[in-house]
Chains A and B, each alone.
Chain A
Amino acid sequence: MSGTVKKGWDRQQMADRIAREFEDGWIVNLGVGIPTLCSNTDIGDREVIYHAENGVIGYGPVLPVGQEDLHLVNAGGQNVSLRPGAAIVHHADSFGIIRAGRIDVTVMGAYEVSCRGDFANWKVAGAKGGSIGGAMDLAACAKRVFIILEHTQRNGAPRLVQDCALPVTARGVVKLVATNLGLFEPVGEGFRARELAPGVSFEAAQAATGCPLFPA
């Protein structure tokens, strides 16, 4: 676990790699931060519908200052646009959509992901409060949970671990993880390295990971 590995994909490239997994017709919920960048990715002629927790179904790109509609935000509070065919529902219906399993993928940030598919993203060590938002509903109910995070903490400690040290958001739900070092799948005993970012060796990725890493 020596030293921070600062190479590989940048924030947009991590988001791009995740977005390329989206399939035509998917309903997609993007969390605040890096996951939002997935909506910038060109995924060709595949069409996905972006759902936001506040009941905005079918939003489009963030609008530049001066062109925003101040009545319209996504879950991150960004002033987005609407795509043709968009619809608005209230919060209970929006989470009805989530709990009923209609979200094909939720993409979230996290502090830690375990090789059993647990993840932690609502409470930091030592804090009394927490920031759950819609993460627990989404994590428990979306068809797939994809996580984007830096592979290591600033001090080099791994974020892909055997067991989450922080309180978990949900257990056993993570299907895919993109980090600056590559694309990884939790497989129980460790993570499978599905793809490594350019310039990242398997050995470097293993050294930065807190549990066994298996080749693709």
Chain B
Amino acid sequence: MARRSKIVQGFAEAVADIPDGAVIAFGGFAGPGTPYNLTKALLAQGAKDLTCIANTTGGAHQPRMPDLGMLVENRQVRKVVCSFTAANRPTDVLPFTKYYEAGEVEAELVPQGTLAERLRAAGTGIPAFYTPAAVGTQLAEGRETRVINGREYLLEYAMPVDVALIRAWRADEAGNLQFRLAQRNFCPLMAMAARLTIVEVEEDFLPVGALDPDHIHTPGIFVHRMVKIPPAPEGLWTVRRVERAR
């Protein structure tokens, strides 16, 4: 049987059928692994009423790159699930905050390890789990806890997603992915948690068999569509983060 190609020519085509109301996970942590190009295409595509899962609600500083904050500004988002719904520095104001405080977008604030594990659970057939994170805090109020071996744990549910948008370093035509260094972060978990995984890839696609099976981070069975990032300025690459004096 012929292998159906997972390579899609453009970002617009790759996200064209994402429906209103979709639950979308966005890879990336402080830059590496962030699907800027797919997010830009989603902004143009215009799907609404989205639930967006990512580590943060988007950056506070210039130069801004396509992120959750922009999707919120574009009125495409119903709810975000993040480990940051405010900036790390209280003096920084996020574009997201105005919409959140006005009640125009909902937010679920989740400890970062719980966010990762809820995705991992969804991708590995585990419906729920207990974690010690957030026990005794406002986040645990009114929720189910259980004492196991003398310690209190909080019940957390798996978080399956409809679509994962992620970025990888290298891929073969079968969709086997490699991430480079800190690019990996949430990306492999989101790919496994999603029914549809779309990847923007930095390097030219490799022929099937070119990647060592022992060195694949995300197997192609979890990957459905891939787009090669074109050279700048058409393709969005990486922002050089500028160290700011505090």
Contact = CB atoms under 8 A, between A and B. Distances in A.
A168 B137 contact: yes
Contacts of B246: 33
A90 B187 contact: yes
A120 B116 CA distance: 23
Given A65-B240, A71-B32, A91 B100 contact: no
Contacts of A129: 57, 84-86, 94, 96-97, 100, 107, 109
A136 B137 contact: yes
B90 A127 contact: yes
Given A98-B113, A99-B133, A131 B88 contact: yes
A177 interface: no
Interface residues of B, number: 56
B31 A90 contact: no
B216 to A, nearest CB: 13
Contacts, number: 163
B119 interface: yes
B8 interface: no
B32 A130 contact: no
Contact of A133 (B88, B107, B189, B240): B88
A182 B15 CA distance: 55
Contacts of A33: 246
Interface residues of A, number: 50
Interface stretch (A51-59, A155-163, A183-191, A193-201): A51-59
From DSSP, what is the main secondary structure of chain A's interface residues?
loop
Nearest to B237: A70
Given A90-B185, A127-B90, A130-B109, A73 B31 contact: yes
B181 A56 contact: yes
Interface string B175-208: 0000011111111110000000000000000000
Interface in B46-80: 55, 57
B19 interface: no
Given A95-B117, A133-B83, A167 B138 contact: yes
B240 A132 contact: no
Which residue among B90, B112, B188, B246 has the maximum number of chain A CB atoms within 10 Å of its CB?
B112
Contacts of A55: 182, 184-185
A99 B132 CA distance: 8
Contacts of A140: 132-135
Contact of B183 (A71, A135, A141): A71
Given A73-B241, A92-B120, 12 more contacts: A54-B30, A73-B31, A77-B31, A89-B184, A91-B113, A92-B117, A128-B101, A129-B84, A131-B84, A132-B139, A133-B55, A168-B136
